[in-house]
Amino acid sequence: MAAMRVARRPRSPWWILAIVIFLGALLGSVIAEALVGYPVLSFLSRDLFYGVDPPFTLNARVFTFTIGATIRLNLAIVLGIVLAIWLFRQLS
């Protein structure tokens, strides 16, 4: 009996998914900013910040090296990312 081949979708490159996630986060951020004025939906725009604050700085006299990053999360950003990934999977 011959082995059956299963048809597989071609996979998109990882960087396209990273761009889709970034655009989803950006969309969620815009939605969160738009909902600040509505008290009923204000829970969607309540922010959580994670990261290094203040940034770490190394001064070696010849050069200065600074490392710092902060991630802003809220429910609208998470919903934007989920929506963007869902649309990406539907279109690809």
Q: Is the dihedral of CA 47, 52, 54, 55 positive or negative?
A: negative
Which tens digit of pLDDT belongs to each residue from 8-49?
667 778 888 899 999 999 999 998 888 888 888 888 888 888
Q: Partners of 72 in the beta sheet?
A: 49
- From the list 21, 15, 14, 19, the residue with the least C-alpha distance to 77 is 21
Q: Is the pTM of this model over 0.85?
A: no
pLDDT of residue 36: 84
Residue with tokens 């969160």: 32
pLDDT exceeds cutoff 60 at 1: no
Write down the pLDDT at residue 14: 84
Burial of 29 (0-12, 13-18, 19+ CB in 10 A): middle
58 DSSP β-pair partners: 65
pLDDT in tens, 60-72: 989 999 999 999 8
- Domain range annotation of the chain: 14-87
